Amino acid sequence: MKIHEYQGKKLFADFGMPVQDGYVFEKLEDAESTIKKVQADFNTEDVVVKAQIHAGGRGKGGGVKYSPNFDKALENAKNILGMNLKTHQTGEGGQLVRKVYVTEAYDIAEEYYAAITLDRSKGMDVFMVSSEGGVEIEKVAAETPEKIAKVWIDPLLGMKSFQARKLAYALGLKGDAFKAAMKILMQMYHAYQSIDATIVEVNPLILTTDGRVIVLDAKVNLDDNALFRHKDIAAMRDLNEEDPNEVEAGKFNLNYIKLDGNVGCMVNGAGLAMATMDIIKLAGGEPANFLDVGGTASAETVKNGFRIILSDENVKAVLINIFGGIVRCDRVANGVVQAVTELGLKVPVVVRLEGTNAKEAQEILAKSGVDIIPAVGMKDAAQKVVNAALGN
């Protein structure tokens, strides 16, 4: 799960990290009062107006504006709220800005980068810092990898001070700023651990002209599997930032991701679902979605899966590919018959059922009289569904 910058900063602040803070507004009529409150509470004339969307690259897309005074801040706030912000992470469609964060402004002397994430191949978390903050870290990694310092953290020991020291030295800090940075890095690790994050990233972490070290941005991704022990964080979920069909699918324990193609598919198991998308492409079609119905596909899940796939108007044919293990094919077949009867499908449906009770399933489909194209094996199924999508 992703959260907004202002939410990430709130979590960071809970762990003692000094963050650039402010207030959020969602309605235009609240813009004025929010800016004034930030100016008063943080004792500042200049502020920063920041679009709150989950995608990165907001600054480049025009979603973050330094504002030297109230009038400029109000103008920026009006422009940013409701804008369709396009960044390299939102794709062409962009993302509607529904929340704007007005924060205090700092005079920046240096910008750094700091992030913690999982290193899968080492089986440890890796803490990375760089003296080159404020820019895309991918670029630093590609062009000047020597400017990124890393430490790997033993999961049983946690981060040790010698590791934080190494990172703070790598930033070239001295004196009080060095001590402050070390403390922030330790707090950042503590936060990462405690909230079950999969990524925490601060870009930039700044040194102010008066020698303070401040967190200027916060990117926090959480482990969905651990949300059961963080009810407060789970409540931060912003459904507006997610695809409505994916949200709807989630309610029925379906794992759905919308793609741009013309062939819908419904499969049990993530690996088989990906392989099904791939073979549709090889057969000359384009997959319209990823949909894993999971290990307990019932008539009800099949029906809801159909409904969600068909809400995408690009879909010209649907392939159902089930390899029954625990899932019984006869139950899936009943679901297909029920769905086709109730929803009155307007596109061709190809069905391939294999594994537990596959024979019974084929009999159910044959007897039902519903208009379904049976297939044997994945190659046959892919070819048939692509032909159907093309109208052949």
Partner 1 sequence: MSILVNKDSRIVVQGITGSEGQFHAEQMLDYGTNIVAGVTPGKGGIKTLDDRVPVFNSVEEAVEQTGANTSIIFVPPPFAAEAVIEASFAGIKVVVCITEGVPVHDMLKVKKVVDQNGTRLVGPNCPGIITVDECKLGIMPGFICKKGNIGVISKSGTLTYEAIDQLVNVGLGQTTAIGIGGDPIIGTTMKDCIELFEADPETKGIVVIGEIGGQMEIEAARWAKDNVSKPMVGFIAGQTAPPGRRMGHAGAIVSGGDDTAEAKMRILGECGIAVAESVADIGNLMKAAMEKS
Q: Pick one of 40, 228, 344, 371: the residue that binds partner 1 (CB under 8 A).
A: 228
For the chain, give the number of residues. 392
CB atoms within 10 A of CB 211: 11
By CB under 8 A, tell whether 355 contacts partner 1.
Answer: yes
Q: Pick one of 35, 64, 218, 279: the residue that binds partner 1 (CB under 8 A).
A: 279
Window 238-277: residues binding partner 1 (CB under 8 A): 255, 257, 259, 267-277
Which token pair is 135? 């820019």
Sequence-ordered alpha helix ranges (H) in the chain: 5-14, 31-41, 70-80, 137-143, 161-170, 175-194, 231-234, 244-251, 270-282, 299-310, 329-343, 358-368, 377-389
The span of 22-30, 143-151, 305-313, 322-330 binding partner 1 (CB under 8 A) equals 322-330
CB of 320 to partner 1, least distance (A): 13
Give the separation between CA 273 and CA 318, rounded to whole angstroms: 13
Give the separation between CA 56 and CA 86, rounded to whole angstroms: 10
User: Phi-psi region for residue 371, left (φ > 0), alpha (ψ -120 to 50) or beta?
Assistant: beta
Find out whether 220 and 233 touch, Cβ atoms under 8 Å: no
Q: Per the omega criterion (within 30 degrees of 0), is the bond before 287 cis?
A: no
The span of 71-79, 116-124, 301-309, 311-319 binding partner 1 (CB under 8 A) equals 116-124
By CB under 8 A, tell whether 290 contacts partner 1.
Answer: yes
By CB under 8 A, tell whether 225 contacts partner 1.
Answer: yes
DSSP for residue 2: B
CB of 288 to partner 1, least distance (A): 11
By CB under 8 A, tell whether 235 contacts partner 1.
Answer: no
By CB under 8 A, tell whether 138 contacts partner 1.
Answer: yes
For residue 202, list its beta bridge partners: 114
By CB under 8 A, tell whether 13 contacts partner 1.
Answer: no
Residues with Cβ within 8 Å of 89's Cβ and at least 6 positions away in sequence, in order, are: 55, 56, 57
Window 63-92: residues binding partner 1 (CB under 8 A): 89
Q: Pick one of 104, 110, 292, 330: the residue that binds partner 1 (CB under 8 A).
A: 292
By CB under 8 A, tell whether 204 contacts partner 1.
Answer: no
By CB under 8 A, tell whether 93 contacts partner 1.
Answer: no
CB of 276 to partner 1, least distance (A): 8
Active site residues: 113, 201
By CB under 8 A, tell whether 282 contacts partner 1.
Answer: yes
CB of 254 to partner 1, least distance (A): 10
Find out whether 117 and 150 touch, Cβ atoms under 8 Å: no
Q: Which residues bind partner 1 (CB under 8 A)?
A: 89, 118, 120-121, 123-125, 138, 154-156, 193, 196, 198, 223-226, 228-229, 255, 257, 259, 267-282, 287, 290, 292, 295, 323-326, 354-356, 377-379, 382
